[in-house]
Structure 1
Amino acid sequence: MWKKIKSWYSERLMDKEGSLRRRYLDIKNHDVDINGTEFFLAKAMIPDIPEILGIERAVYGGQTPWDDRAFRGELMRKNDRLYLVLRRNDWLVAFIGCSLNFKTKDCHITNVAVAPNFQNHGLGYFLVNTIVKKARQMEFEKVTLEVRMSNTRAQDLYRDIGFVDNGINKGYYFNDREDALNMKMDITKLG
């Protein structure tokens, strides 16, 4: 009997991490207003991968930094990954993904891309802030990411949100060996 009580107590009351994980990773698909335009925010699923790859090709000059297999592997990991998509009139127009390290309390944004026709409309800003909000809800301490040294527009966006420079990864990007700027946000200091 004591063993059952102890097990119930640890499952229900002591598993704060698991409770936070279940509560905040269970995204309810819903409409969102971004600068006066309606979009549909949803958790990414396997059938979204072809459209995600299409956005990558449009953004990265015909290249796909991640392939179908990489995205499939990420989307299968339900406990430590979060991928979101934005749709407009049933077209996938933007996505973001992150890995969640519950031991180090680090949320690492792995990728974010917005279809060229929808850039400069606040979608990237919205998605990054959504991930930051989720990380705060799960009581994480920081959000990190890498960005190409040549992508100054994205760097400016991240700085506007509150990220700071945190070093350089030399030759980080596989296809052209471009350096990456590491950026991080300490979310323990947010009000």
Structure 2
Amino acid sequence: MLKKFKNWYQQLFQIQDTKFQDVLDIKNHEVHIQNVAYFLAKAQFTDIPEMLGIERAVYGGKTPWDSAAFASELRHETDRLYLVLRRHDRLLAFIGCTFNDVKSDAHITNIAVVPDYQNRGLGHFLIAVMIKKARQLELKQVSLEVRLSNVRAQSLYQSLGFEKAGIKKGYYFGDHEDAVDMVIAIGDSDNGES
């Protein structure tokens, strides 16, 4: 009896792992955002220096995540997806997301767009891709945290259907700024492309 249960349990998780691998596997390809061509790719270890550069540009010279944190995330290919957008071989934006079948949640861990390409739909596009992936995995929600002071980002997330779900006091390292928890419940409709 125990052997049958063990086999069933292993098969169940093998099927789940295969499903995650299939959905999270992205082929690098050209995408069009507001009639401009970009190259969408799965983030690689060689992208980390440019990702850190984007963080510095966005966060006033600071890098909330270091190269070791990005490298650790990129190693977890079974439940994480990091994407980059390039134009003329320049990395302009990236997003990271953790997909948790147990919690039925896709959690956006990191997103940044270089300042001179903000307000061009890149962040909207990347979030929509992650929402689509979460739907394909039949998860119930997509969640994220955003700085309380980052009203522009909150507005972007709300335009995609995210709602404020709470406040995490002193969440951010260093300045201890509060974070706004935001969540979107997802159903069957399709909100992005990959």
Q: TM-score, normalised by structure 2?
A: 0.90
Task: Give yes or no for the alignment of 1:21 onto 2:20.
Answer: yes
CA distance in 2, matches of 1:116, 1:176: 22
The unaligned stretches of length 5 or more in structure 1 are none
| Change in CA separation of 1:186 and 1:90 when aligned onto 2, cut-off 3 Å | same
Question: Where does residue 119 of structure 1 map in the other structure?
Answer: 118
What letter is aligned with 1:133? K
SS at match of 1:120: coil
| Change in CA separation of 1:88 and 1:150 when aligned onto 2, cut-off 3 Å | same
Task: Give yes or no for the alignment of 1:73 onto 2:72.
Answer: yes
Q: How is 1:86-165 mapped onto 2 (pairs within 5 angstroms)?
A: 86-165=85-164
CA distance in 1, matches of 2:189, 2:166: 22
Listed one character per residue, the Cα deviations across residues 64-106 of structure 1 (whole Å, up to 9, x for unaligned) are: 0000000000001111111000000000000000111111111
CA distance in 2, matches of 1:125, 1:162: 11
CA distance in 2, matches of 1:36, 1:188: 28
Question: Where does residue 167 of structure 1 map in the other structure?
Answer: 166
Taking only aligned residues, the RMSD between alpha carbons, in angstroms, comes to 1.9
Aligned pairs, how many? 185
SS at match of 2:187: helix
Identity among equivalent pairs (%): 56
Larger mean CA deviation between 180-189 and 141-150 belongs to 180-189
What letter is aligned with 2:62? Q
Question: Where does residue 35 of structure 2 map in the other structure?
Answer: 36
What letter is aligned with 1:95? F
Listed one character per residue, the Cα deviations across residues 14-33 of structure 1 (whole Å, up to 9, x for unaligned) are: 84422321211111000000
| Change in CA separation of 1:18 and 1:177 when aligned onto 2, cut-off 3 Å | same
CA distance in 1, matches of 2:85, 2:110: 14
CA distance in 1, matches of 2:63, 2:95: 15
Q: TM-score, normalised by structure 1?
A: 0.91
| Change in CA separation of 1:18 and 1:175 when aligned onto 2, cut-off 3 Å | same
